[in-house]
Structures are given as structure tokens and as C-alpha cells.
């Protein structure tokens, strides 16, 4: 009975691993096709991005950081990168593999201070009570309730987030944005994008980019 159970568990986990491998290959091929359709280059990995983006909040978290399914190219004075990103947090029973699809735009037109802005969660209210930074705007309580905004130079971030920019982000949902050093990065912190949604994600990133550039 014990031996049969042991063999059964091996087959079960082997089946999970096989299924995960098949799905990963399908995703890679779908992203490769999207790259061709969009006129972008494709690479299965580009882990140098982890080092390049190391000053951004997303890339300061966790360990075992990896990129996959990387689309890249140039559109005028904007350099485009779209990629899956995964990293690990916690350990033991608290171990978690975090995954999201990131859209990165790089341009000399982006002149924002370093900032990170993410959807406010339940535990962020406790973090604020403990003294963690969250830049709020009394003039825009909706924005302040929706997002946690942070930056090393708070006054510069406050100047950059004009009323028009605050009002734009008030109309957005489930989006995280980071900016600085000629870059703006947009992602949904809770999911990877299906390949079919990549075009829409890039369009949304350009919309954010337009509002960011308008503040310069």
C-alpha cells in the first residue's frame, strides 16, 4: 500500500511537471507569434534586465529573479520591452512565486523622479500606521485611497504628480507604475498577461507614457 502510494505520488507530480512544461512552451510560442505580428524581436530570456532595473521597487523584492518571453524593439524615440517576470518571496510554507508581465518604455522624454505607485491593499493601511511611506494628496482623496505612492525624493514626486496626472490615475484600476531614469514601467502586480492581451497592454503603457511625458 505504501509503495503504491509512493509510486502514485511520483506519477502525480510528474504529470504536473509535464503539464506545466507543455503550458510554458505554448506560452512561449504564442509570445513569439505576437512579437512577429507586432514587428518586435523575441528572446526566450533577457536576465540582464534584472540588473538594469535593479533600482526599481519591483526588482528589489525577493530572490531567484528571472525573465522570460521577451519582446523588444524601437518605436521612434521610445525603446519597448515586454516580458514575463518572476521572483520568489518567503520560505517554507510561506514561500511564494510571484509572476507578472511587465511593459517597459525607455525614452529621453521621460524626466520623472524615481517613484513607485501600486494599488493599495488591505495590509497597506497597517503599513502606513507603522510609518511606511505613502505619499497622499489632500486635494485628491480618491487617488490616495487607491494607490500607495513612494519615492526617495518626496517633494520632487509631489511636484511631478500634478492634478491632471492624479486625475488620470484615478481612472485606472489594477495597475502598478514605476518611473525614473528615463524609464516608465507598467504592470499588474497580480497576474501575467495572456499573449492575446499584449497589444492592449502596450497601448495602455503608451497612454501612461503620454501623461508622464506631459509633466516634464
User: Is 30 within 8 Å of 101 (Cβ atoms)?
Assistant: no
- Which pLDDT score is estimated for 2? 61
pLDDT greater than 50 at residue 199: yes
C-alpha to C-alpha distance for 44 and 66, rounded to whole angstroms: 11
Mean per-residue pLDDT for 209-215? 89
User: Is 71 within 8 Å of 201 (Cβ atoms)?
Assistant: no
More confident residue, 131 or 96: 96
C-alpha to C-alpha distance for 182 and 172, rounded to whole angstroms: 22
The secondary structure of the chain in percent helix, strand, coil, rounded to multiples of 5, reads: 45, 25, 30
pLDDT tens digit sequence for 100-116:
999 999 999 999 999 99
> Cell 481612472 maps to which residue?
171
Q: Which residues contact 215 (CB under 8 A, 6 or more apart)?
A: 112, 160, 161, 162, 165
- pLDDT confidence band for 127 (50 / 70 / 90): low
Look at 24-28, 33-37, 90-94, 154-158 and tell me which has the smallest mean pLDDT: 90-94
Look up residue 101 and give its three cell numbers: 508581465
Q: In what order do the strands lie in the sheet with 176-180?
A: 41-43, 63-75, 78-89, 96-106, 183-187, 176-180, 115-119, 147-150
Residue 71 burial (C-beta neighbours within 10 Å; 0-12, 13-18, 19+): buried
Closest among 123, 72, 128, 108 to 184, alpha carbons compared = 108
- Residue boundaries of the structural domains of the chain: 2-214
pLDDT tens digit sequence for 5-39:
555 555 455 555 544 566 889 999 999 999 999 99
- pLDDT confidence band for 119 (50 / 70 / 90): confident
Q: Which residues contact 204 (CB under 8 A, 6 or more apart)?
A: 103, 175, 186
Which residues face 82 on adjacent strands? 71, 103
- Which pLDDT score is estimated for 48? 94
pLDDT greater than 70 at residue 129: no
Mean per-residue pLDDT for 48-72? 95
Amino acid at each position: 500500500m505504501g509503495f503504491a502510494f509512493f509510486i502514485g505520488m511520483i506519477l502525480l507530480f510528474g504529470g504536473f511537471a509535464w503539464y506545466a512544461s507543455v503550458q510554458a512552451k505554448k506560452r512561449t510560442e504564442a509570445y513569439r507569434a505576437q512579437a512577429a505580428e507586432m514587428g518586435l524581436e523575441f528572446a526566450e530570456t533577457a536576465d540582464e534586465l534584472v540588473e538594469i532595473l535593479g533600482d526599481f521597487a519591483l526588482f528589489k523584492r525577493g530572490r531567484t529573479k528571472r525573465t522570460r518571453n521577451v519582446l523588444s524593439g524601437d518605436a521612434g524615440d521610445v525603446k519597448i520591452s515586454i516580458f514575463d517576470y518572476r521572483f520568489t518571496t518567503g520560505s517554507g510554507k510561506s514561500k511564494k512565486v510571484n509572476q507578472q508581465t511587465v511593459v517597459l518604455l525607455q525614452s529621453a522624454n521621460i524626466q520623472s523622479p524615481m517613484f513607485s505607485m501600486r494599488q493599495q491593499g488591505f495590509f497597506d493601511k497597517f503599513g502606513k500606521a507603522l510609518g511606511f511611506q505613502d505619499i497622499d494628496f489632500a486635494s485628491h482623496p480618491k487617488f490616495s485611497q487607491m494607490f500607495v505612492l513612494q519615492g526617495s525624493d518626496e517633494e520632487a514626486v509631489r511636484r511631478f504628480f500634478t492634478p491632471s496626472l492624479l486625475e488620470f490615475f484615478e481612472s485606472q484600476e489594477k495597475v502598478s507604475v514605476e518611473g525614473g531614469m528615463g524609464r516608465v514601467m507598467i504592470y499588474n502586480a497580480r497576474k501575467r498577461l495572456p499573449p492575446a492581451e499584449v497589444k492592449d497592454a502596450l497601448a495602455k503603457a503608451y497612454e501612461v507614457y503620454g501623461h508622464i511625458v506631459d509633466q516634464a
